[in-house]
Structure formats: C-alpha cells, structure tokens
Amino acid sequence: MRFVRILAAALAASTIAGAASAADLPYRKAPPAAPYVAPPVFTWTGLYVGVNGGGWINNSSINYGFTKGKLGGGGGLVGGTIGYNWQMGNNFVAGLETDLDYRTKTNVTPPYASSSNVSDGYLGTARVRVGYAMDRALLYVTGGLAYGSVVAPQTLYVLPSFVGSQSSNSSALGWSAGAGVEFAINNNWSVKGEYLYAGLGNKSVTYTALGNYGTPVVQTGEHTARLGVNYHFNFGGPGGAVRY
C-alpha cells in the first residue's frame, strides 16, 4: 500500500514538472500578413515632345477677276510637337499642344489656267485637347489656332498673254479642329493617330503683270492625317504617369 502511494506521488510530481516545462517554452505565433498594396494607376499628366508625319489634301480655292475654283493637289508633311496633359480623376484629360509641320510641294491647277503650278510651305497649330482616358488609351478631340503659308500658285496663268508671279510668300492665321487616339506603349513613349482640318481664311496674294485682273484672293484650307510618336518626361515620376 505504501508502495502505491509512493508511485502515485511520483506520477503527480512528473505531471506537474511537465506542465511547468511546457509553460517555459517560447510561444510561436504566425507572422502577420503582408499589407495589400494596390497596383499603380496610369495617368497622362506631364510634359511631352514628339515628332509627326503624314499627308495633306488641299481644299484651297482662288478667286481672281471672273474666275473662281478649287486648286486641288496635296502631299506629305513632317514636323514636331510639344504639349502638356492634366489628368483629372480616372478618365478626364485636358491638355495644350502646339506643333509645326513642313508641307512638301504639290501641283495645283488654277481654274482656266494654262498650266499647273507648284506651292508649298509650313503649317502650325496651337490647340486645346480634351480626352477620355481608358488606362493607357486616350481618345480626344482638339481645336484651336492654325497658322501657315497660303497655298497659292507660284505662277498664275490667266490667259497666255497675262502671266503673273508671286512677288512674295504670304502667310495667314486661322483655325484648326480634329480628333485622334493615343496609346502609351510604356512609361515614356506613346504613339498616336490624328486627323486635323486647318482653315486659314481669305488672303490677298500679290502677283506681277496681271493687268486689269486685280489682286487674286486665296482661301486656304486643308485636310491632314498624321501619325506621331511622343516622349513623356514625367511618366513614372512624381506627378507623372504612375500614381498610387
């Protein structure tokens, strides 16, 4: 009996000692979950510069004496662009853009003239852009000022005996409007396609040796279609194209 009591006491002491040892073991807790970080959201805000090129279709007309009609023709154009965008909220984008392009020469045929003539020059615009952004894609409309060379024949043939040549190149100020789409291919570069119409109004062009036919008036207008590549300085930086 005494032996049983001694055995029970030994078992009790062993149990208490085991519980105490377990209490002394370090407590291991699972590490906290990493905080959720939302992926960056693309924004179009920032300064950009670029190049563009494409073609133009002449929609100009000339009026001299009793003669009036379309000049026709067209050609290529190439130039540079600079602008700045502001993105407000998730979708609305507004910006300012200016560009200057050189037109290649084109054959124009004045009405009732005896031969074709050649004209070229430059075309520039300063416009507002308003667009709807869908992440890296931007649809926009644009409009503002246009300025450039008047599309007028360098030599004007009224009749074989009345020939006039431009005494100086003429320039005019007008308006432009159009629409386009732009897509950001990475955090610095974007590509775009754009249509613009430019109207430079009526401009008197001085010719020599036109006799009594007076001073011709040219109404310059042209359709342009262009592709462009832009480099964005602020993409990925503070206030630039990636926001959190």
Domains of the chain by residue range: 43-243
Return the beta strands (E) in the chain as ranges.
Answer: 41-42, 46-58, 61-64, 67-70, 74-88, 92-108, 117-134, 137-149, 155-159, 162-165, 171-184, 189-204, 217-232, 242-243
Alpha-carbon torsion (172, 175, 178, 183), positive or negative = positive
- Comparing C-alpha atoms, which of 50, 59, 46, 111 is closest to residue 85? 46
- Which tens digits make up the pLDDT trace of 130-185? 999 998 999 999 999 999 998 887 777 665 556 666 666 788 999 999 999 999 99
- Which tens digits make up the pLDDT trace of 1-32? 554 454 455 445 455 445 444 445 455 666 67
Are 147 and 174 spatial neighbours (Cβ–Cβ below 8 Å)? yes
CATH architecture label of 43-243: Beta Barrel (2.40)
User: 178 has which bridge partners?
Assistant: 142, 196
